[in-house]
């Protein structure tokens, strides 16, 4: 488990949130000369310094040109309840969470 000691349910919720955004991004036009996971990782890390999960989501979506993402409000609220810990994990363990996105169903 990560150094921030998030439980598996929270990590799964983070992966679901990130996956919803990742699936909406137009990767054909984003960072054409870069590996998509590198761009996504950079955008997550930059957004992780926001003060709440809704703000994180807004910044991440905006930076990727995503107008909307199918994220259940309840999921956002659950993550926001531990926002400080979740955002710290996203800022410090970004690559790990990008890897989780590939595995989440």
Unique residue bearing structure tokens 């990727």: 64
The pLDDT tens digits of the residues spanning 52-104 come to 999 999 999 999 999 988 899 999 999 999 999 999 999 999 999 999 999 98
Say what the pTM is: 0.91
The pLDDT tens digits of the residues spanning 12-32 come to 999 999 999 999 999 888 867
Domain boundaries, the chain: 8-103
| Integer Cα distance of 98 and 103 in angstroms | 9
Unique residue bearing structure tokens 């590198």: 38
By the 8 A CB rule, do 6 and 90 touch? no
């Amino acid at each position: 488990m990560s150094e921030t000691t998030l439980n598996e349910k929270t990590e799964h919720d983070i992966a679901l949130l990130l996956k919803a955004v990742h699936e909406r991004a137009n990767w054909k036009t984003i960072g054409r000369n870069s590996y998509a996971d590198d761009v996504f990782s950079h955008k997550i890390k930059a957004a992780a310094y926001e003060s709440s999960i809704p703000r994180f989501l807004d910044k991440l979506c905006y930076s990727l040109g995503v107008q909307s993402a199918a994220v259940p409000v309840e999921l956002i609220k659950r993550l926001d309840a531990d926002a400080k810990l979740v955002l710290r994990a996203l800022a410090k363990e970004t690559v790990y969470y990008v890897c989780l996105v590939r595995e989440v169903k």
